[in-house]
Amino acid sequence: MSRWKIAAVSLLLLAAGAASYLYAIEAHRKANPQSAFASLVDIRLPAGVQVISYANSTNDAYVHKAHVWLLEGEEGALRKMVEGTRSERSDEDARWLLPDAAALFGLQLNPGDLAEGYELEESRDRWFLIAKGKPRAIYIQ
């Protein structure tokens, strides 16, 4: 076998291994959303708040992946998620993120279903969206 063939086969095996690894990571995050949240987000969950689901979305012209979690808890406990962070209230911008973020979890929410929205401005903004009248919130990183 020529060096080129060996290099090509090696490259294909490396690519297949990388793709398998990425698929396994994604499957693990979906199967263990609480663990994924703990490993990727530097915020501790307040008492009474649970991570119930994980999804992701490709954005920024298909370059960056947003990690998205569905959280459950009483509204007061959910509000504690932003305590001690530099997050600022940003209802107007957040309300337009809610429908697409909710759809990742099979939920139908419209902009008017936002109770409170918070934004943490960093190189990649983080969002925390609390739904009206429901014990649910969405965290986007």
Q: What is the pLDDT of residues 38-66, one digit of tens each?
A: 888 988 899 999 999 999 887 665 567 88
Q: Kindly state the DSSP code that residue 71 receives in the 8-state scheme.
A: E
DSSP characters for 4-70?
A: HHHHHHHHHHHHHHHHHHHHHHHHHHHH-HHHHHHHH---PPPTT-EEEEEEEEEETTTTEEEEEEE
pTM: 0.82
Average the pLDDT over each of 3-17, 49-63, 124-138 and give the range with the smallest value. Answer: 3-17
Report residue 1's pLDDT band, with 50, 70 and 90 as the boundaries.
confident
Report residue 23's pLDDT band, with 50, 70 and 90 as the boundaries.
low
How far apart CA 35 and CA 113 sit, in angstroms, is: 28
